[in-house]
Each structure stands twice: as C-alpha cells, then as structure tokens.
Structure 1
Amino acid sequence: MINISLKLAILAAGESVSLFYKEQLEYFFGDAVAITAYSIENGSVFSPKNEDVYLVTTVSFECNEDILKYIPKDKHIIIGDVTFKNSTINRLKEFPINTKALLVNSSPKMASETITLLYKKGVNNIQFFPYYPNSMETYSDIDIAITPGETRYIPNQITNILDIQNRVLDRNTLIEIATTIGCDYLLDTKRFTTYFDEISNGGIGIETLIEKNSILRQQISTITKSEGIGVIEFDVNEKIQSCNNLALNLLDEDRSNLLFKVVQNIVLKEGVQSSKKTKNIFQTIYKNKKEEQINLLFIPIIKNDNVAYTYCLIRKNKDMKRENEIEKEYLKRGHYSRYTFSDIITEDTRLIKTKEMAKKMAKMNAAILITGESGTGKELFAHSIHNASERRELPFVALNCAALNESILESELFGYEEGAFTGAKKGGKIGLFEIAHNGTIFLDEIEGMSQTLQLKLLRVLQEKEIIRVGGDKLISIDVRVIAATNENILSLVKEKKFRIDLYYRLNALPINILPLRERIGDLEILINYFKKNLDLNFIFTEKAKKLMFQYNWPGNIRELKNCMEYFCCLNERIIETTMLPEYIKENIDLKEDKNQSTDFLLILEILNILKKSEKNEKGIGRSYILKCLKETNFEISEAIIRRLLQDMNKKGYIISTVGRGGSKITQLGKEMANNK
C-alpha cells in the first residue's frame, strides 16, 4: 500500500466539473495523492483549507479572485489549463464551413473561454455565439447548440444539440501536478502516454516543453517526432541513450557510431560538458561534413540539483543571412523590454492579484489581451510579462495600431519586398513580426486595426506565418502576441467593427487593469515614487494634498506623472492650492477663500520671526510676534495670532508651552519658512 504524503485540492467553478477533475486525477495517480474537490457553485471553495497543493482552474480564478484568500500563502498553486480530446475536435471540424452555432455554458466567462479554446484547437469552420443563463441575445436565426455538458441552459427552440462533454486537463497541467507531488515516474505509464496522444494537437513548442526543472522523458519523446528537429539524449555519464534519424542525418553520423557509446564528437562533447557544468542551456553552431551549418542547443535536465541527463536539439540553419539581418535590425531599433513587475507600484490588493496572475500568464505562450483605461499602465504590464517569460532575452517589439493608417501599418507589421509600391526601399524591409521572431510583439490600441489587417493578424495567430507586402513567400515565425485596448471590444464586436474570431484568439489570457480612481490608496506611494524618480523635494499644503486626493485622475498614472513633472518646472518647495494645474482646479471647482490665503502668508511670516529668534533660551510670546508683524505692515489682533499659533502647533510647525513659555519653531516649521 502506498503511503499518502501529499494532499491536493481542486478548485473549480462548478461542482460537477470539480468532481470530474477529481475522478480524472484519481484515474492517473491512484492512491499516490489524496484529492478533495471544491467549487464556487456550492460555496466550498470559501472554507479554510489545509491541503499541500492547490489546482485552480483558470475560469474559477477569473470568476472569483476571493478564493485565493482561502489558500494558505506558503502552499503551491497550479493554475490548471483544460483542453478537448482530438476526437471531439475532429467531430466539430466535420461541420460545414461558416456554420453558425450557439456555444452554451453556465456563465459569460466560461462560454467565452470555451470558444477561445475551440478556435485555438483549429475549429475555424464554425462561427460561435456565446449563450448562457440570463443572456439578453435571442439568436433566432441559429438552430444549432454546442455545449460542454451544460445542456440544461440550451434555449427551448433549439433542437440540433451536440454535447461535447467536459473539457479535460491538458498535458502541461498534468505534468506540473506529477512533478509537484513527486509522481513523475507515472508519466511513463500507458495511461499517460495514451492520454497525451488523445489530446495532442501536434503543435508542441520545443523550448517551451524543455524548461529546466519541469521536463521529463515523456515530453522529450514527443519532440523526436517533430519535423525539422534532431534530438539526442545523453545520460549522466555522457553516453548517448537515443537519437532520431534527423539527428544522424544532420550530423552525418552512423547510428552504430553514436548509440550507447560515450560521446566522441568534439562539438557534442563540449556542448554536453558545458551545459552540465553551468546547469544552463548551451548553444553553439557546427559545420558538418557536408559543410552545412547546424544549430545545436544543449539542455540539461535537473533533478535534485544535479544534471540527470542532457538533450541536444539540432536544427539546420537554412537562412542564416535572414537571422543576421533580423538581429541587426533588432539591435538598431532597440527592441527590448525595459520594465519588470517590480516597476508596477501598488499596495492595492486587487492589482497585486492581477500582477500575480500576469506572472503566471508570462510562463505560457498564448495570446494576452490587456484592457484598461488610457494611462493605467498596459504597456508596463506587457513589458513585465515579456521579461518574466522564457522569451526575455529575445526581442520585445511595441507598436500603436491606431497611430498609423492601414497601408503603413501593414508594411510595418509584415515588411515588404523591393518594388512592392512607390517609394519602397531598395532590398525591401523587414517587418516587426520578423524582428519579434522568438520574442514578443505588443500591439497597443488593437481596436484601431482595420478589418483587413484583423484578418491577416488572425492568420498569423493560427498559422504562425506571414507574407511580406508584394511578396509570395511564406515566412514562418514564432511570436507571442500581447494586445491592449482602452475600448470595450465586445461592443465593437456587436457593432461588426472587430472580428469575433480574432477577439477570442487574442482573449485567450485576459488582464484588466484598474483605473487610478479605483485604487486611490496608491496615490501617495505613486507621488513619492515619482518625486524620488524625478529628484523632487517639495511638500503639499494640507489643502493642496486634499484636493489632489479629491481629483478623479481621468488620465490615470500617465496624468499623475505629467502633473509631477509640472511641479518640477515650478521649482517650489511648498505646493499650495493655487499652484495646482488649472485642469485640476477646474475639475474640482476650487474656491479658496481670501482669509485662507491671508492666514497662510501670516503663518509664513510668524515662522520667520520665530526662526530669527530661535537662539533665545525662552520661547517667543504673542506680544513680541504682534509687534514684529505691525513693523512689517500687518494689521492684526492678538486673538488672531493666538488662533494661528494654535493651528501651527497642531500641524507641528511650532511647539507652544503653557503660560508664559512662548513658542519655538520646529524643523518642519523651518522647512516651511525656507520655502515661502
């Protein structure tokens, strides 16, 4: 009998779904782990928990972030992804092209995510329309409904129904669970290998599959079937355990000279030893006996902090000229990411959760759609996601889609061939998608893209290839797309201004950023951050600070930064209400009365009097202050001085003693006096 050492919790949106995943995991792992199912539907996710590992489905996480409160902070969280089996996808692909169908699910979010997944799996022959409980749309012209086990929500008038059943856990989720609970040995069993074949989409990203601490033999075995990739496996003693035919062809070696022997090839030996020594990926270029240049990538597989075995991926460098050309263009234009998640300044719990979710998304390769008002920091998030991804060392290319007209935007994105149009550069031009190859492209204000370019972008996302303007050659690319918008894209979809299929492709991983007015608690730390960054040294009067907090900041963080730069130009030590930018004063209907202005001037004058007399052992009395003020043409009563001194004492500008002790200036008071 196996001794259960770990407990695993499943957190899903629906009760039946969580039980379905429990049944699936129990099938794979048996008694190796104790599994408990929780759901938002029955409220069980909101109870205290003590499991060791928590599997949270993406849908449930997005539906209700409060569930994170009930997961102990020191526990391991796996954000699970789901997929459909090949048999389900093939069945859907049998529908005629341009078929219209309702995608019925239990919520708008779950319907949207299911549509996105089906498009990603290549079901492009069906135009899906989301339908869910209390949906306002009628769709009277549609007579087909497709649902993942939610037939109860299908409208009564629909008679043509296809139940594609619950989605299943995908390959990466199962592998992460196995490695986390120490059951990676089970991945070699027939249950797993058969299941992986049933859900494989044939589009496995090589480098993505080989992350240093989470890769196993089962994953690598799929690579040997990939076209264009040679694979060699070395054991801990540098003996070759396996190699595919392509590796032999590229190296121009005979299998009998390599298999089950300690590596003798100098380049292979150097690569294996370098990656073992550094425990890092090692890359080199090698010229074989046929004078062909091939690229060798050595990847050490780490277990218990030691290199257990090493894989060498071999590619033929067919287009070195193009690679060098792109690299030069990349360096020349400075396409790299400048920000990380540490640059996103916040103490707001909701935005902190958004950051944590974005960090998890960074590890994936699916497209991301960032929504939020102008100036909230969408590009900052895009930079940070790239810098937290496996693509961090490769290009990060940013482009505002609304800033260029259609023809210029097309040539910028896809490049063009020589003579493609009047004024085209000799030799043509590399497009941003080519420059971003293996990296990330950030498309800001995506809603500004024309319908024609939307269709071309959809092809890039589906086929991973482009054609330059005026050309006919297909160019393969591997680019992670992050899009951003400050518009309501779904409204544009309903108005037929934005393609629904492109929306679901881009919205695979959604992020929404809060406006500054909804996290006004961050205002002070942002002000201090910009002051430090801009080397500013000023303080607000109490009234000015209050008005800064009353303002709703429609331009968000960008507007706040501009405001701080405005204060920099003023070069004042104390910012009064009268010094605030006009747009702030106008929007908050500033009505500062004359008495307040007079009081402020009197306070500064009194502080200067106290400062000049601070060497006196005793404090300065009201009568002396009154005398000094009259000498400077201030007509004022002793009662007003008493009121002002009481106010200054409360604010910490002075220290007043009882009786005849008088008043003395404080350090804060000196700062006020020095910057009048």
Structure 2
Amino acid sequence: MSPIKKRIAVVALDYTAAKFYEHQIKELFGELVSTCAYNVLNGSVKKIKEADLFVVSTDAFESITDLQECIPIGVPKVEIAVAFTNKSLDTLRSIPSGSKALFVNLSEKMVREAITRLSQLGINHINFTPYYPGAKSISGFQLAVTPGESRYVPKDLNNIIDLGQRVLDSSTMVEIALRLKFDYLLERVKFKEYFRSLAVNNYSFNQLFGRSLQMESQFELLMEIMDEGIIGVNENDVIFACNSKAVEITGVTKEQSIDHPAISIFSFLPFEECRSTRKKINNRLIRVSDVDITVTVTPVIRGDEYLGSFATIQKFTEEEYKQHNLRIQLLNKGHKAKYTFDDIIGESHVLKKACAIAKKMAKTHSTVLITGESGTGKELFAHAVHNESDRHNYPFIAINCAAMPDNLLESELFGYDEGSFTGARRGGKLGLFEYAHKGTIFLDEVEGMSPALQIKLLRVIQEREIMRIGGNKIISIDVRIVAAANENLEELVSKGSFRNDLYFRLNTLPIQLPPLRERGEDIMLLFNYFKCKLGGRFTLSPKVINTLLSHNWNGNIRELHNYVEYLTYIDKDIVYYDDLPPGFHNNSLSTLKHNSDSSTNIDAKLLEQLAGNQIDDYFFVLDMLHVGFINQVAMGRLSISEEAEKIGHYLTQQEVRGILNDLNNLGLIKMSRGRGGSKINNRGIKVFSELQSRLK
C-alpha cells in the first residue's frame, strides 16, 4: 500500500512563477507529494483548497492582512527564497566588464533584490539599471538581463540574456522536507546535486551534507549551518539543543548540556526572564570567561502556550567584524586611503620634520589637527596618517565641511532614521561616522561647521557615540578623527566663531604644514616631478628658475601644479620669462623688491631661500669655487668633497653635485661636462661676497 501523499499548495504573484516553483517541488519530491499552484494576479489564490503545507513567495502579498485573507491562520507555511544557479553566474561572468544592462523583473522589489543578490555573489562588473512594469522608459541600452521575464523587456531591445526563473534555494527545500517529515530525502543524490547547482557564498553544501549523515535529527542539520551559537530550552528551561558554534563559544560540550537545566549550565543566559515575561530579549552584552558575548533570547509561543525559547549567542568581536563587512558592502564606494608618506615629495628640513611628527602621531588613536595654507597637502597627510596607523585595513572617509549646507552635512555625518524629515530615504540612512567604524574620518575645512554641528562633533569626540537624525538610539562608534583647517582656528576662537572646547579637543595632536615658499629646494623638486608626470619636455631659462624660486606661491603646491601644466601645454622647447603666466609677473619677491634691492642682494636672498638650513653647505661650495677662481683652476665634485672632509664638514660627492646643479640653475657658476669641473662667474663672486658679509 502506497503512503498517503502530502498536499502542497504553491502560492506566487503570477501564474508563471507559481507553476515553475510547483514543477521544482514535484521534480525533487516526486510521488510523495501532490501539488497545486495558485497565483494572486489571476485571482486563483481566493480559491485555495486545504493542504498539508503552504509554500508562499515573499512578493505574493503586500501585507499580512492580504495573506491572512487567503491562507488560514495557524496552518504550516514555508516562505519561498530563491537562488541563482552556477550556470546563470557563468553566463553573466562572460559579459565584458563595465557593460551597461537593464535588469528586468516582475516588480521593483524583485529587481532590486535580485541585483543585490548578484552583487553578493560577486557579479559586480556589470552596471545594472532596474526595469520593471510601470517603470519609466529608459533609452541608451543595448543589453537586457532577466530571470525568466523577457515579456517585460522593452520592445526595441533585442539583445536579451534570459537566465531563466530563479530556483528555490536550499533553505526552502530543506524546510519543506522537514515540515513534511521527509528529512531522509536530504541525503539522496538528487537533492545533493540540486544543492550543488545553486550559487552560494556562505558555506559548502558538500561539507554540510557530509555532516548531516552523522546528525541525529533534521533539527541538528539546520542548527549546524548557523553562524551563531544556538541553545534551545523547553517549557521547563531544560536544554534540548546546542549547536557546535555554541560549544565553541561557551566551552561546554553537548554531552554536558543536553537534558540539563539551563540555570545549572548556562546561568548567564536569561532563559528564566524570557519565560516569565514571554518577550524577546534583544542584543544583551554579557561577559563570560573574559570574553564579551552578545545574546538574544527568543520565546516560542503557540497560541497562549509557552513552548520554550532559543538563545543565539556570538562573540562580540565576530559580530563587529561582520558589521564592518556589511558597512563596506553598503558603502560600496571604495573609501580607502590612497596615499602613504612615500607619496609626499620633498627634501626640505621643514617638510621632513612635519612627516616625522605625523608618523609618530599616526601610531596613536588620538585626534589629529592638520593646519596650513590652502594647497599645502593637508588631505595627502591625512591619507598618509591613516595608512600608517593600525586602522589602515578599515575605511578612510573624507568630507569637506565647508562644501555643503549645514543640514545636509549633518545628515551625511550622522545619518537619519526613516521618516525623520520630508524626502528621507525609506529605511533611513547610515551616517559617515557609522561607515567609518574602526577606521578614520577626515573632516576637511572643519572651520566651516556651524556652531550647532560643532556641539555635536564635540560630543562624538568626548563620548565616542552618535545619534541619527530623528532617532532615539545611542550608537557607539570607534572612529579616529583627523581634522584640517585652512584658517587660524585660534583667531576664530578669539572671534567667537569657533568653539574653544572643540578647538582644544581637535588640537590634541597638531601638525603644521609649511607653505611652499618656505620649502626652498622642494620647489624645483616638485616642479620636475609634475613636469615628468605630465610628460613635459621643455627646459627652463635661468631667469625663469629664479622667478620660480622667488614666487610667493600663495596657492602652494596646487598653484605649482597648475603652472607646470600650463607650461607643458604651451609646447615650447625652452621657457623664457615672457612665457610665464601673468601671475608670476605680479607676485614674485624679485618683482616686489626690484626697486629697493640690488640684483646681487636678490640673488643672495634667492640662494638662501633655496638652500634653507643647508646654507652653510652652499656657502662652502661657493668658497671652494672662489678659491679655484683665484688659483685659476676648475673644481670638481671629488676635490670639493675631499676639502670638506679635511675640515670636518663632510659632504658626499652626490650632495656636492646637487648643490652645483642649483648654483648653475641660478646662473652663479658654469658647470663643464665630464671631468672639466665647475667655475664661479662674476655674478657668483658677488653673491659669495654678499653671503660672506651676512654669515659673519
């Protein structure tokens, strides 16, 4: 006598989906079940017959009320979850990276859910645009991708990749088997092959079903695939379930826990409280054996009867790691620091000092305040500080506080809850402080914050916690703040436009970046770097070099880059003074002081500016060349280096070469090729005499 077939009612939004799901169930469970498909769109769902199990798609009903009107309360139900097959993913992987495509499905919800799932499965190389019945018409696309809904693809689009309907996922099939007590089927080849055909990214089904052979019940099968520890108790708080993750977290074996009172084994878990209140206990943080654990206890109630409860437990560090990965997925904007201290170009003493200080500060977790004129590289330093810190594997998020209105800046930084203001995104939005958890947030032009926002920022620094706009929940964060200011914050404090207490909170670790005009030899170093990067092939006349070295550089490095780009694109082999942009003619030290200083005085000042704290080295080389002039001999790098060593000055040949190049560019000496040595000229002698009188 054949066993009585189990009756399954399959309910979906439309006819095609319902029949497809029905066919899949029939294929796997065969003669053990009888099935009937219903759908909402044609109204057949209003005539559902009795069944042992209702299998319902998530998009079938818009509300619980609609579902309850068609499906009786209290009957066994399984919610349909769908999955892509490995074959579908292989098809999508063959599409060229960067391709644009419409993703077409039955509803907006289904489209967005499918695109999100594909992203989780690693399909991120295609730029999908959602399309569904009722969506606005879209043009400019040559390709459409759809999971079996080709009928909704725009008529003028012929290139269609139909992946076929998404299939019922493993959890749906497993739950159907368990509900109907067909769990023994899960070990059969047909089921294993079906599960292996599904595209998943969280666990291996080969391992899952290898373990299932040793499990005592279908319930353990579901328990063991959970990422959290699960402990279940009956109505008398006696433990009847404990998965391997719970054993790993608590150190209590299954033999030590099963069939024992929870109070004697897991006294730290609030089962008794849950039983007495019959309410869910959410995210309670407890400490067990010096380990922080998050606990949630959920009661199981049918009708008015308490049947027991389940505790889900997880190490706090693991939950933090998951939250971090989820934030990265939600953000999906590649917020990473791009630059390190190796990307900071310069050999001047003042710059090296700033870098040395910044490297030491990077190793701490304290707030850093970077100040300096516009264009001095504050954001570059902020990137470098993050990459030098132990937070370098976490997000680096930069925002300009002066670049957006006050209310928009607040919502960007702190986020908001759903319905907090008109136009707020459904579901709310995480703020940048939450996205930057464990990482660094860079607040550029922090002086642009309003007084109200300054107060909120002060609380973040003091309490390390935020509250979203329109929310009522305190959110703890671990974020390192790096702030930058173009203006003098002390002056703004004295004027009352910047809070005194916030200034001292931000100014814990100050870094002052030097303006370009104070960096001497770095001017030509940076000039040549930008020239090489932009592909410039020109050379500079001595007068142009003098002008560059004497320029005020009010725009600092940004201004220098702009001028190099200008000189590159005028396409001249040699750049003369008249080829320079108008700004040079009106804003250089030599022009401003031409009427009051002699040319020799100006040359001496330029040399001092170029040499910086190495002026003694430059003066020594000029002195040696002057001696050579008197003795009518040319001086080479080796002879100058040896003379320096005799008096304990110690200059390497490479250092001498760099100084000779600078003196030659200033027009103070003449360098010969090969071993011809270098000679000082009349202009150089005058500068030497001027420096000699000053240094004395």
Q: Which has the higher contact order (CA 8 A, sep 6+)?
A: 1
- Provide the TM-score with structure 2 as the length reference: 0.41
Please report the TM-score for the alignment, with normalisation by the length of structure 1: 0.42
